[in-house]
A = this chain, B = another copy of it.
Amino acid sequence: MNARSPDVLPPYRTAIDPAWIDYNGHLRDAFYGLVLSYATDDMMDHIGVDAAYRERTRCTLYTLEVHIHYLHEVKATDLLEVRTDILDADRKRIHAGCSFFCARVAGPVAVAEAMLLHVLRTDKPAAVAFPADIESRLAALKLSEAGRAGFGPASRRIELRRR
């Protein structure tokens, strides 16, 4: 039992590739997305949508949406830790929430959400239900209503608010 969810995924950790630093001297926005993508691969391994499963079933996850909030600059010397929560899941979809941390900064340096769809890869990829074992692993990982309500920045919509 854990404050984040009944079950919990291990964090994903990575150093910063020097090629990911841009002309502003910090981690380019897109590479937070790449770290998110690798952290999602790691989550897939843990819930059982790993390479062997993908090979055997021709099923995989496709990304439908990603939304990243950039909260602090990340520098070349930082080590990133990504903590993934299962915010919600249904028979075919996972709504994942990822919080990015580095030791230099107290709160998260970025917060991201991703919507993922379980797909059977054929000539015409189609959404299919998770097998029972994966569905129950997701159910065990899913955040409580309260945990979900407390996840990430309050603003979920991109718009300018006049001040």
A residues adjacent to B (C-beta < 8 A): 23-25, 28-31, 33-34, 36-37, 51, 54, 60, 62-70, 73, 88-90, 93, 95, 113-115, 121, 125, 156-160, 162
A66 touches B23 (CB 8 A): no
A30 CA to B159 CA, complexed, in Å: 23
Give the top 5 A-B pairs by smallest Cβ distance, nearest first.
Answer: A33-B33, A30-B34, A29-B63, A30-B37, A30-B33
A65 touches B54 (CB 8 A): no
B70 touches A64 (CB 8 A): yes
Residue of B nearest to A155 (CB): B65
A69 touches B65 (CB 8 A): yes
Residues of B within 8 A of A54 (CB): 23
Residues of B within 8 A of A114 (CB): 29, 158
Residues of B within 8 A of A31 (CB): 30, 34
B95 touches A159 (CB 8 A): yes
A104 → chain B closest CB, angstroms: 14
A52 → chain B closest CB, angstroms: 12
A43 → chain B closest CB, angstroms: 13
Interchain CB contact (< 8 A) of A62 among B24, B51, B88, B115: B24
Knowing A95-B160, A158-B95, A158-B113, the reply to whether A69 touches B64 (Cβ < 8 A) is yes
Residues of B within 8 A of A89 (CB): 160
Residues of B within 8 A of A37 (CB): 28-30
Residues of B within 8 A of A65 (CB): 67-70, 158
B158 touches A115 (CB 8 A): yes
A127 → chain B closest CB, angstroms: 11
